[in-house]
Amino acid sequence: MRNRLPVWGEIGRPTRRRAVVWLALALGGCGSVPPAAPPMAPPAVVMEPSPGATVPLPPLPAQESAPLPVDDGGRPAVLSAEHPAWQRADAAPLPAPLRRAAAQWQPVRWSDLPGWGRDALHEAWNAWLRSCERPAPPWAQLCADVRRLTLADEAERHAWMMQSLQPYRVLAPDGANRPALLTGYYEPLLTASRVRQGPFQVPLYAPPPQLAQARGGPWYTRQQIDSDPEVQALLQGGVLAWLADPLDALLLQIQGSGRLRILEPDGRQSLVRLAFAAHNGHPYQSVGRWLLQRGEIRDGTWEAIRAWAAANPERVPQLLWVNPRVVFFREEVLTVLDAQFGPRGAQGVALTPGRSVAVDRDAIPYGTPLWLVSEGTAARLQRLVLAQDTGAAIVGAVRADFFTGWGEAAYTLAAGLKQPLQLWALWPREAALPAR
């Protein structure tokens, strides 16, 4: 995914294809805040239904992911420090530290990893197999063992990892152990209509043919796309689906991908994914930050923004136009198997709820297994995860965004994650670490 903001705030991240929803919608952010705009006519996306429009649609069946476990502390030991594999691994001499552009990796013993030997590694193995679909050196050779161990028991997986990998504490480039942060992101699940009708008046677009002619430069702004008939004519025929709420459309664009439960013209219901395809080339601006700086809301949550919009419907276009960036999508059919995974991350593989994280690729290469430890009010985590994504707001050596899945349960967990973090990279023994 690109374009994602961590779910505790939508404010900080220039959009990349994947997007976290940062529920703290107004605390990060870059770029200047636009000045107050004069009153404007509502854009097309909030037009009243045309005569003869159908009645509001019934809700579609939910397609929710199962709630993720949020407390890893009570798991029984699978492998103890008395196991021969553990003793051999910890008896080996420690290698030299490794360096990455934005991090120093300090070698440690397996005994230094809080909770090691207790993880349900089978939950992480699917994520690791996904990484092996696009392995980077030096993982290609080890992926044969990863596939072989698919049916192994937990003790055998632990022992193999200790034999094959060396743990490194991920630190700042100067070796300092600075405060670190774990946030969460998710895949929105929204109800939509294939045709414009009833409350469904907000279009989601595929990339228009004229976008390629911009050659990487800025195309029309959100305000022009919403309100200029000549620009809308260029987009005619490119609507993938219609939503009922313009803030849902904004959320989907911030996240960079999402699932839609679509009512088709013939009455069928379909579940599809809209994935990032392109954007209009304008910088991302946070609507939450804009409201906060004007004193119109007191906290930058989506709930606060929605409450403001409900109380100020005539100003919603002005709010939306604060962010000139528009994301265009492509539609992907969700098979039964695809529906068990999230969208593709920056590594190019499907994300696994609870086992995929976004990292700063200048600190950690894609595909790296990580031991993640974080304890806070939202979750207590001691588990194996895979570095499979990135995002513009995920910057620094010890900084991660935890993919929680899709739907309301995933949203709730992602929204609550803003807590301390420790990371250990698990790297093949005697393998060089690429500088970038």
Of 261 and 214, the one with more pLDDT: 261
> Would you place residue 23 in the very low, low, confident or very high pLDDT band (cuts 50, 70, 90)?
very low
| Four-point Cα dihedral 379, 382, 387, 390, nearest 10 | 30
Average pLDDT over residues 15-21: 38
Of 88 and 408, the one with more pLDDT: 88
First to last CA, the chain: 20
> How deeply is 40 buried, as exposed, middle or buried, from its count of CB atoms within 10 A (0-12, 13-18, 19+)?
middle
DSSP code of residue 112 = G
- Those residues whose C-beta lies under 8 Å from the C-beta of residue 142, and which sit 6 or more positions away, are 164, 428
Query: What is the model's pLDDT at position 243?
Result: 98
Where do the CATH 2.40.40.10 domains begin and end in the chain? 84-172+346-406
> Would you place residue 14 in the very low, low, confident or very high pLDDT band (cuts 50, 70, 90)?
very low
Query: What is the model's pLDDT at position 393?
Result: 78
**Burial letters for 270-301: b for 16+ Cβ neighbours within 10 Å, e otherwise?**
bbbbbbbbbbbbbebbbbbbbbbeeeebeebb
Where do the CATH 2.40.240.50 domains begin and end in the chain? 5-33+185-340
Q: Give CA–CA dist 302/10, Å, rounded.
A: 8
Query: What is the model's pLDDT at position 434?
Result: 85
Per mean pLDDT, which range of 43-57, 111-125, 244-258, 358-372 is the poorest? 43-57
Are the CB atoms for 363 and 396 separated by under 8 Å?
Answer: yes
Are the CB atoms for 4 and 401 separated by under 8 Å?
Answer: yes
- pLDDT tops 70 at residue 211: yes
* Structural Rg of the chain based on CA atoms: 23
Q: In this structure, how many other beta carbons lie within 10 angstroms of the beta carbon of residue 56? A: 13
Average pLDDT over residues 268-283: 93
Q: Give CA–CA dist 206/191, Å, rounded.
A: 18
Query: What is the model's pLDDT at position 162?
Result: 98
Q: Give CA–CA dist 202/127, Å, rounded.
A: 35
Q: Which of 5-9, 24-28, 315-319 has the highest mean pLDDT?
A: 315-319
DSSP-based three-state secondary structure for 316: helix
Provide φ and ψ at 428, rounded to 5°.
Answer: -55, 135
Are the CB atoms for 410 and 68 separated by under 8 Å?
Answer: yes
Q: Give CA–CA dist 130/174, Å, rounded.
A: 33
What is the per-residue pLDDT across 392-411, written as a single tens digit (0 to 9) for each?
779 999 999 999 999 888 98
Per the DSSP assignment, residues forming a β-bridge with 71 are 380
Average pLDDT, the chain: 85
Query: What is the model's pLDDT at position 22?
Result: 39
Query: What is the model's pLDDT at position 289?
Result: 94
Q: Looking at 189-315, which runs of residues are DSSP E strands?
A: 189-193, 202-205, 239-243, 257-263, 269-279
Query: What is the model's pLDDT at position 418?
Result: 93
> Would you place residue 7 in the very low, low, confident or very high pLDDT band (cuts 50, 70, 90)?
low
**Burial letters for 151-165: b for 16+ Cβ neighbours within 10 Å, e otherwise?**
ebebbebbbbbbebb
User: Which residue from 390, 398, 401 is spatially nearest to 422, judged by alpha carbons?
Assistant: 398
Look up the pTM and report it.
0.81
The structural architecture, per CATH, of the domain 5-33+185-340 is Beta Barrel (2.40)
User: Which residue from 118, 86, 83 is spatially nearest to 384, judged by alpha carbons?
Assistant: 118
What is the per-residue pLDDT across 138-163, written as a single tens digit (0 to 9) for each?
899 999 999 999 999 999 999 999 99
> Would you place residue 3 in the very low, low, confident or very high pLDDT band (cuts 50, 70, 90)?
low
The domain 84-172+346-406 belongs to what CATH superfamily? RlpA-like domain (2.40.40.10)
Query: What is the model's pLDDT at position 337?
Result: 86
Query: What is the model's pLDDT at position 244?
Result: 97
Average pLDDT over residues 294-298: 95
Are the CB atoms for 350 and 401 separated by under 8 Å?
Answer: no
Query: What is the model's pLDDT at position 56?
Result: 38
Q: Give CA–CA dist 149/145, Å, rounded.
A: 6
Q: Give CA–CA dist 401/8, Å, rounded.
A: 10
Average pLDDT over residues 84-104: 95
Are the CB atoms for 350 and 332 separated by under 8 Å?
Answer: no
- Those residues whose C-beta lies under 8 Å from the C-beta of residue 299, and which sit 6 or more positions away, are 24, 26, 292
